[in-house]
Amino acid sequence: MGTVGIQRKQILTYCSLTAGFGLLNSAYNFYYVKVFLNFYHIQEFWFQLSQVLFLVWNAINDPLLAYYSDNKNFKILRTRRNIILYSAPFFSLSFLIPWFPWSTNPVIVGLHLIFALCFWDTLFTFIGLAECCLFTEISQDSEMRITLTRASQIASLFSSFSVMVLEHASNGLQDFKSFQVTTVLIAILSWFLMYYCGKNCHTQYDLQQMQHGEKSPDEVCHERTGQESYWQQTWQIVRDINFISFVVTNFFQEFHQTFLYNFMAIICDQLISADEISQTARSTFYGSVPFASKILVISIAPILRHFSYKKVIRANFIWKISGGLVMYYVNGNGHPWVLIGFLLIDDCFANGTFSLFNLPLSDIADANMVKYNRKHPISSMVFGTNALFVKPAISLSPMLVVAILNKYGYNQMKKSTGDMTNPSVNPFNSAELEDLKGVMFSLVCLYPVVLGTIQLLSWSFYRISNKVELEVKTA
């Protein structure tokens, strides 16, 4: 098979992983908070405790798995392909854990969420790191990476339909049995896609061993550094100004993205009544949000060949600040379709920009390889160390929002509402309800303003302008 044929196969297998991974990730992030808050009625103490433990577990498992992936030679870790192949069925299983209640006992509900989050994140990290490393190691060519970015977003168009399918299958979670059955079908399909990638995807370093060492795919082994400790490699990474700049930017991007994933449906259900926008239209909107963000990345990918990703990412932060301020001062809360439009655009830019973040992290990994004269980039360590600092945002963001909402009576409103799947039927005090709606609207508008300002400042310290600099250094 020629070089072009090999590249096409690598793109296809990588896209298969992206589609399978995205099917689970989109649905999990969109539903787990709503299911535990509104259906299992988890107590705030247990919700916050689960997020704290989740945060701690994130801090332990990401760098640990990253170091082992780059430096140990267990069978499951021999190649990025092996990691995906053996982890995929467990990842699909972890996706199903939240949707099947264990008990109505408050303690059991709390333990259910703790287990679900930690089990999910362990497999999410394992396969997510392998996916990121594949992106870096399939090719060092910047054109190939842009092509991979665009192709993976096309594949993600398929995976983004998981939310829409679940919304319509369950009628906005009103038919929970149908929701559960659909999640099982999605998990099986996702496992099949990831299995295909695990059987067929090879990095450029794997291919070199197969071509020059005449090794079979099963004999290929990821080259280990083996001589440096975890702390040495971590110190080399965290002292890089480009890495520091990126991590701060990425932390607040994850913070914003998690807020939109977890609370968009909850906030829209309260700010927009069923009389203004029907449940069918609302479900279509929720399902189209992840789809629209993929279209954005596919559209701007050709721009990356003319303008650096650094400028494109910076433009997103300028939008966050200006868009949030305009929305707040025009009082979009009184215009449901304007609010829907703003949330759609905000989510598109948040998720679209996040989809480009593999490009700077890959360049940071390549720069590290050049600086420390390595034969192979320590991609897992770079991505894992990034996750060590960034993943806490996934816990801190919902903790902060739930605390704010409960301060304004959201928990009391849930208790006073007999059926949370029908928020229009609400005996909650009208004045308190208006205060709650006001703070929800403020969160929607001011979150992007505050986070975008911090990101615009931190991103200004990122110094790698394009891949040409690395290619010159390598030469």
Exposed (0-12), middle (13-18) or buried (19+): which is 436, by Cβ within 10 Å? buried
Residue type, 342: F
In angstroms, the CA 392 to CA 338 distance is 32
Contact assessment for residue 356 and residue 153, using Cβ atoms and an 8 Å cutoff:
no
Q: What is the band of 475 on the pLDDT scale with cuts at 50, 70, 90?
A: very low
Helix (H, G, I), strand (E, B) or coil at 447: helix
Contact assessment for residue 120 and residue 58, using Cβ atoms and an 8 Å cutoff:
no
Distance of CA 388 to the CA centre of its chain: 14
- The string of pLDDT tens digits covering residues 7-24 is 777 888 888 888 999 899
Range among 7-11, 122-126, 250-254 with highest mean pLDDT value:
250-254
Mean of pLDDT values over 248-253: 94
First vs last C-alpha separation in the chain: 28
Q: Which tokens hold the place of 224?
A: 């280990």
- The string of pLDDT tens digits covering residues 52-62 is 898 888 777 87
- The string of pLDDT tens digits covering residues 369-404 is 888 887 777 777 888 888 888 888 888 888 898 888
- The string of pLDDT tens digits covering residues 137-175 is 777 777 787 888 888 888 877 777 888 888 888 888 888
Contact assessment for residue 258 and residue 398, using Cβ atoms and an 8 Å cutoff:
yes
In angstroms, the CA 50 to CA 162 distance is 26
Mean of pLDDT values over 263-267: 83
What structural domains and CATH numbers belong to the chain? 3-213+230-474 (1.20.1250.20)
Mean pLDDT of the chain: 80
Q: How many CB atoms lie within 10 A of CB 374?
A: 14
pLDDT at 247 exceeding the cut of 90: yes
In angstroms, the CA 269 to CA 340 distance is 11
- The string of pLDDT tens digits covering residues 423-465 is 454 555 677 778 888 888 889 888 899 999 999 999 999 988 6
In angstroms, the CA 61 to CA 109 distance is 24
Q: Kindly report which listed range (250-254, 301-305, 313-317) carries the lowest average pLDDT score.
A: 301-305
pLDDT at position 325 is: 92
Q: Which tokens hold the place of 177?
A: 């049995």
Alpha helices in 139-278 (DSSP H): 142-159, 161-169, 176-200, 204-212, 230-238, 241-271
Report the half-sphere exposure of 189 (CA within 13 A, side-chain side). 15
Percent of the chain residues past pLDDT 70, beyond the cut: 84
* Residues with Cβ within 8 Å of residue 114, at least 6 apart in sequence: 46, 49, 50, 53, 54
pLDDT at position 407 is: 85
DSSP track, 326-341: HHHHTTGGG-HHHHHH
Report the half-sphere exposure of 379 (CA within 13 A, side-chain side). 27
Report the half-sphere exposure of 222 (CA within 13 A, side-chain side). 31
DSSP track, 128-152: HHHHHHHHHHH---HHHHHHHHHHH
> Closest Cα to residue 98, out of 141, 156, 34, 55?
34
Q: What is the band of 468 on the pLDDT scale with cuts at 50, 70, 90?
A: very low
